[in-house]
Every structure is written in structure tokens, then in C-alpha cells.
Amino acid sequence: MSENTSRTPVNLQSVRESDPHLQPAAKNPVVVERVIALNFIAAMLSFVGFLWAYIVNAQAWKLGATFGGGMTFLGIGLIAWGKYLMPRGPFVEERHVLASTQGERDAMSDAIVKRGGGVIQRRKFLGGLLGGSMALVGAASIWPLLRSLGPLPKGTLFHTDWRKGAFAVDQSGRRIHKNDLAVGSIVTVFPEGKQDTDNGQAVDQTVLIRLSNEHFTTQKGRESWGPHGYVAYSKLCTHLGCPVGLYEQQLQLLVCPCHQSMFDVTNGALPNFGPAPRPLPQLPLYIDSNGYIRAQSDFHEPVGPGFWERA
């Protein structure tokens, strides 16, 4: 058989009707044909419904049901057509060997090594200059590209906006008075003026808890940090920086809902469960002459999760 005849398209009608492999796979093609027709009709009706739903701005589920239903009917009909009523195989196709002969491979290697390499071999100095300038332009474009993507971290991660004397305010900016919280209550506070800023919300967020009516010492050396039973901890979990948003009042634990780290607020917020490796940093507080709660200073250590530069 010649190349030419093998590519001559043959009309379906020229194939013998009796050829068993052109018979439908379905035992009863008429039934299958009807089922497929029903699917296509259902698809058309669904799409009419979809158009209607779109025009009258119907609810999302009506749009989805008509569109999805129509597509499903269409798909089932077309697959059934292909599966049951089209010529059956199996047909076969030969695989070509993709690999070339050794001679052809050598010819290609030769072109690269001898012809191309030879050019550079003869002009080593020019080749060096070409390589050098390409390396330089690469380095020169990568560095500013990286560098202009953001500021350098520098000291940013080591301090927050809490300063000596900063008023603790809630999210609406209201200063917290020493009589505001009942024992066992909790509120999220920010340094005054920062409650609406991105950095204030993401970095300065602090939980203020009233643990008792008297001075509360959470750890040795923090005797003056908890006036009138008010203690404050950074709200950033030391595991991955989620806000430590749950307070288990009975057990006096702060719980992070992300990965369930738990911090004992009566004991310096030491973690007693979960993957957090460090206690939440505590903010030293004092109460001014008007009864407002203020910070003695910034946190004494970086807040949030660990990073390389952290000591």
C-alpha cells in the first residue's frame, strides 16, 4: 500500500454496512438514540431556563441549576453518543521510535561543539567579554528588582508603637479607665492613635485582662507591671502570629484558634499546650492619676513568631 492511498479519506458510506465494528455498541441503538435525544432536549430546555433566569435576574441557585443541569445533560448525551453509537474500536496506531540514529545525534553534537564551540575557541577574549557582560546585566537587573519590592526589615520587627506613657485604647479609640473592666474581663487594646493603622492592628494589638482587684505579679521581676489586677500581653501568637483571640476564663488561658496554643495568663503567659515555643510578651502597665491605663514602656522583646535575627 502506498503512502498516498493510505491518506485518501474514505467516506463512511463506502465501508461495508455489515462490518461488525461499525455497529453501535448498544444492544438496542434505537433506545439509546432516544435517550440521547431526550438528554439534548433537556439541555436545550435548561439553557432556555438559564436565559430566562438571567433576564429576570433570578437567584443564584436557579441560574446554577439551569446552567449546570443543561451542561450535564449535554455532556451525558454527547458522551453516550461517542460511547454507544460511534464506530467501535479498538483501532490501532503504530508508535514511531522517537530517537534518531547515532549519526544524526553526532551531527547535532558536532554542530554545537565544533562549529559553535570552535567560533568561541578561536576568540576566547571576545567570548569572555560576551559572557561577562551577560552576567553583569543579569546581576544588575536582579538586585534592584529584589531591592525595590519592599523596605529592608532593619529594626522593624524588634519594637512596636507602644511607648512610655501611651494610653491603652480600645478599637474605637476610647481610653480604658481602671474601673472599666470587671475581674475576669478582657479587651483588645492599642496604643492611642494607632488603633486605626495597619501596623497598629497587625503589630501593636494587645490583650488587656483584669485578673483581680489587687496588684498582680505574673512573674518574678514584673512586680509593678500589673496595677489593680490589670495585665497586658501581646495578642500575636508566638507560633505563627494569629491573634490569640480566645480567653478561657475558668482556666485563665489565652487560646490561639489557629493551632491551639494555650498561654497561662497568671504565669507570664507561658505556653502550656500546643506548638507555640515562647510566652506572649507582657506589656508593663501603670495607672495614671486620672485612673487611665498606660504603658510603662514598649514590650521588652520582639512580639509575634520567631525569625532568624531574633536573639
Partner 1 sequence: MSDAIATKRSKREARGPYGRVGTAINELDERLGIAKGGRTFLDKIFPDHWSFMLGEIALYSFVVLLATGVFLTLYYIPSSAIVTYKGSYLPLYGQHVTQAFASSVDLSFSVRAGLLMRQMHHWSCDIFVGAMVVHMARVFFTGAFRKPRETNWIVGLSLLILAIGNGFLGYSLPDDLVSGTGLRIAYSIMESIPLVGTYLGFFVFGGNFPGTSMIPRFFILHVLIVPLLIMGLVGAHLFLLVRQKHTQFPGPGRTENNVVGSPMFPVFMAKTTGFLFLVAGVVGLLGAFAQINPIWQFGPYDAARISYAVQPDWYMGFLDGALRIFPAWSFHSFGHTIPLEVTIPAVVLPGIIFNLAFAWPALERKFTGDNAIHHLLDRPSLRPKRTAAGAAVLAFLMILFIASSTDVIANFMHLSLSSVLWAMRILTFLVPLITYPVTYYLAKEMQHAPGSGKRKTTNVVSRSATGEYLAESAPAYDEDVHHELVAKTVPTFIEADLDSDNGVRKVPR
Which residue lies nearer to partner 1 by CB, 15 or 48?
15
SS3 of 191, please?
strand
CA 94, 100, 101 angle in degrees (round to 5)? 120
Which residue lies nearer to partner 1 by CB, 64 or 118?
64
d(CA 98, CA 109): 18
Helix (H) or strand (E) holding 3: helix 3-6
Minimal distance, residue 200 CB to partner 1, in Å: 9
Which residue lies nearer to partner 1 by CB, 50 or 167?
50
Which residue lies nearer to partner 1 by CB, 228 or 278?
278
Strands (E), 113-252: 168-169, 186-191, 206-210, 230-234, 246-248
Which residue lies nearer to partner 1 by CB, 224 or 260?
260
Helix (H) or strand (E) holding 263: strand 262-264
* Cβ contacts of 21 within 8 Å, gap of 6 or more: 87, 88, 89
Which residue lies nearer to partner 1 by CB, 216 or 233?
233
Minimal distance, residue 165 CB to partner 1, in Å: 22
Minimal distance, residue 151 CB to partner 1, in Å: 6
Tell me: cis bond preceding 90? Omega within 30 of 0 counts: yes
Which residue lies nearer to partner 1 by CB, 124 or 154?
154
Minimal distance, residue 243 CB to partner 1, in Å: 5
Contact (CB, 8 A) for 153 and 170: no
Minimal distance, residue 145 CB to partner 1, in Å: 10
| Burial class of residue 58 in the structure, from the number of CB atoms within 10 Å of its CB (0-12 exposed, 13-18 middle, 19+ buried) | middle
Minimal distance, residue 233 CB to partner 1, in Å: 13
d(CA 277, CA 273): 10
Minimal distance, residue 308 CB to partner 1, in Å: 5
Region of residue 154 (left: phi > 0; alpha: psi -120 to 50; beta: else): left
